[in-house]
Amino acid sequence: MEIDIDHELAVLDRKVAQADERAQAQVARVGRVSGRAASPDGGIEVEVAPGGLLTGLTLSPAAVSGDMETLARNIMSLADRATRRAGSNMYKALSPVLGERGEKHLASLGYVPVDDEDAAEVDFSDPLKQRGGRR
Protein backbone atom coordinates (compact mmCIF):
# COMPACT_ATOMS: atom_id res chain seq x y z
CA MET A 1 0.00 0.00 0.00
CA GLU A 2 1.42 3.33 -1.06
CA ILE A 3 0.92 6.51 0.96
CA ASP A 4 0.53 9.88 -0.71
CA ILE A 5 2.87 11.82 1.56
CA ASP A 6 1.91 15.19 0.07
CA HIS A 7 -1.76 14.53 0.78
CA GLU A 8 -1.00 13.36 4.34
CA LEU A 9 1.14 16.44 5.01
CA ALA A 10 -1.60 18.71 3.67
CA VAL A 11 -4.17 17.04 5.94
CA LEU A 12 -1.85 17.38 8.94
CA ASP A 13 -1.10 21.01 8.08
CA ARG A 14 -4.83 21.75 7.88
CA LYS A 15 -5.46 20.10 11.27
CA VAL A 16 -2.66 22.08 12.90
CA ALA A 17 -3.98 25.33 11.43
CA GLN A 18 -7.50 24.55 12.67
CA ALA A 19 -6.23 23.72 16.16
CA ASP A 20 -4.22 26.95 16.16
CA GLU A 21 -7.31 28.97 15.18
CA ARG A 22 -9.42 27.31 17.90
CA ALA A 23 -6.70 27.88 20.51
CA GLN A 24 -6.30 31.55 19.55
CA ALA A 25 -10.06 32.07 19.68
CA GLN A 26 -10.25 30.42 23.09
CA VAL A 27 -7.41 32.54 24.49
CA ALA A 28 -9.09 35.67 23.09
CA ARG A 29 -12.34 34.61 24.77
CA VAL A 30 -10.69 33.78 28.09
CA GLY A 31 -8.40 36.80 28.13
CA ARG A 32 -5.03 37.09 29.75
CA VAL A 33 -3.98 33.85 31.44
CA SER A 34 -2.06 34.23 34.68
CA GLY A 35 -1.75 32.85 38.18
CA ARG A 36 -2.00 34.72 41.44
CA ALA A 37 -1.13 33.97 45.02
CA ALA A 38 -1.20 36.03 48.20
CA SER A 39 -0.09 35.65 51.78
CA PRO A 40 -2.90 34.96 54.26
CA ASP A 41 -2.83 38.56 55.50
CA GLY A 42 -2.70 39.98 51.96
CA GLY A 43 0.61 41.71 52.65
CA ILE A 44 2.32 39.97 49.74
CA GLU A 45 0.62 39.41 46.39
CA VAL A 46 2.24 38.00 43.26
CA GLU A 47 1.03 37.45 39.72
CA VAL A 48 2.85 35.40 37.11
CA ALA A 49 2.35 34.44 33.48
CA PRO A 50 2.30 30.76 32.49
CA GLY A 51 5.88 29.57 32.81
CA GLY A 52 6.55 31.73 35.85
CA LEU A 53 7.42 35.18 34.49
CA LEU A 54 6.62 37.62 37.30
CA THR A 55 4.08 40.17 36.04
CA GLY A 56 3.03 41.73 39.32
CA LEU A 57 4.22 42.10 42.89
CA THR A 58 2.49 44.04 45.64
CA LEU A 59 4.03 44.43 49.10
CA SER A 60 2.38 46.11 52.05
CA PRO A 61 4.41 48.39 54.34
CA ALA A 62 4.18 45.70 57.04
CA ALA A 63 5.61 43.08 54.66
CA VAL A 64 8.73 45.13 53.91
CA SER A 65 9.30 46.24 57.49
CA GLY A 66 10.44 42.79 58.62
CA ASP A 67 13.27 40.42 57.89
CA MET A 68 14.25 40.58 54.21
CA GLU A 69 15.30 36.93 54.05
CA THR A 70 11.86 35.84 55.24
CA LEU A 71 10.23 38.25 52.81
CA ALA A 72 12.28 36.87 49.90
CA ARG A 73 11.46 33.27 50.88
CA ASN A 74 7.75 34.09 51.09
CA ILE A 75 7.77 35.87 47.72
CA MET A 76 9.49 32.88 46.09
CA SER A 77 7.01 30.43 47.65
CA LEU A 78 4.08 32.51 46.47
CA ALA A 79 5.60 32.81 42.99
CA ASP A 80 5.90 29.01 42.85
CA ARG A 81 2.26 28.64 43.83
CA ALA A 82 1.18 31.29 41.34
CA THR A 83 3.19 29.52 38.61
CA ARG A 84 1.32 26.27 39.27
CA ARG A 85 -1.97 28.16 39.14
CA ALA A 86 -0.99 29.90 35.89
CA GLY A 87 -0.15 26.53 34.35
CA SER A 88 -3.46 25.13 35.54
CA ASN A 89 -5.31 28.14 34.14
CA MET A 90 -3.55 27.71 30.78
CA TYR A 91 -4.50 24.03 30.78
CA LYS A 92 -8.13 24.88 31.55
CA ALA A 93 -8.19 27.51 28.80
CA LEU A 94 -6.66 25.38 26.05
CA SER A 95 -7.52 21.75 26.81
CA PRO A 96 -11.16 22.06 25.63
CA VAL A 97 -10.02 23.04 22.14
CA LEU A 98 -6.90 20.89 21.85
CA GLY A 99 -8.39 17.54 22.87
CA GLU A 100 -6.61 14.57 24.44
CA ARG A 101 -3.43 14.85 22.39
CA GLY A 102 -3.29 18.55 23.13
CA GLU A 103 -3.69 17.85 26.83
CA LYS A 104 -0.59 15.65 26.67
CA HIS A 105 1.36 18.44 25.01
CA LEU A 106 0.13 20.94 27.60
CA ALA A 107 1.23 18.56 30.36
CA SER A 108 4.66 18.20 28.74
CA LEU A 109 5.00 21.98 29.07
CA GLY A 110 4.05 21.82 32.75
CA TYR A 111 0.50 23.07 32.21
CA VAL A 112 -1.55 20.65 34.28
CA PRO A 113 -4.70 21.09 36.34
CA VAL A 114 -3.96 21.54 40.03
CA ASP A 115 -6.06 21.70 43.14
CA ASP A 116 -5.70 24.86 45.14
CA GLU A 117 -2.95 24.28 47.67
CA ASP A 118 -3.56 25.42 51.20
CA ALA A 119 -1.52 28.12 52.87
CA ALA A 120 0.33 25.62 55.05
CA GLU A 121 2.92 25.17 52.27
CA VAL A 122 4.34 28.62 52.91
CA ASP A 123 5.79 29.80 56.22
CA PHE A 124 4.28 33.23 56.71
CA SER A 125 5.63 33.79 60.17
CA ASP A 126 5.55 37.43 61.14
CA PRO A 127 9.10 38.61 61.96
CA LEU A 128 7.68 41.61 63.86
CA LYS A 129 5.70 39.34 66.16
CA GLN A 130 8.76 37.12 66.64
CA ARG A 131 10.76 40.17 67.83
CA GLY A 132 7.90 41.49 69.91
CA GLY A 133 7.22 44.39 67.55
CA ARG A 134 3.88 45.88 66.53
CA ARG A 135 2.16 46.31 63.22
State the CATH number of the domain containing residue 80. Answer: 3.30.1310
Is 100 part of any domain?
yes
Nearest to 54 by CA among 76, 73, 69, 72: 76
pLDDT band, residue 49 (cuts 50/70/90) = very high
Query: Does residue 7 sit within a domain?
Result: no
- Where does the pLDDT of residue 41 fall: very low under 50, low under 70, confident under 90, or very high at 90 and above? very high
- Judge residue 37's burial from the number of C-beta atoms within 10 Å of its C-beta, 0-12 exposed, 13-18 middle, 19 or more buried: buried
Q: Establish if 49 belongs to a structural domain.
A: yes
Residue 26's pLDDT band (cuts 50, 70, 90): confident
% of residues, the chain, pLDDT over 70: 85
Residue 21 domain-assigned (yes or no): no
* 134, part of any domain: no
Could you tell me which residue, 109 or 123, shows the higher pLDDT?
Answer: 109
pLDDT recorded at residue 116: 67
- Per-residue pLDDT at 135 exceeds 80: no
User: At 45, is the secondary structure helix, strand, or coil?
Assistant: strand
In-domain check, residue 93: yes
pLDDT at 35 over 50: yes
User: Does some domain include residue 76?
Assistant: yes
In a domain, 130, yes or no: no
Helix (H, G, I), strand (E, B) or coil at 87: helix
43 within 8 A of 126, measured Cβ to Cβ: no
Domain that includes residue 113, residue range = 32-121
- Do 44 and 74 meet the contact criterion of CB atoms below 8 Å apart? yes
Q: pLDDT tens digits, residue range 95-118?
A: 888 777 888 888 888 888 888 654
Using DSSP's 3-state secondary structure scheme, residue 13 falls into helix
Sign of CA dihedral 95, 87, 36, 56: negative
User: How many folded domains does the chain comprise?
Assistant: 1
Torsion sign over Cα 92, 97, 100, 104? negative
The reply to whether the predicted model has a pTM over 0.75 is: no
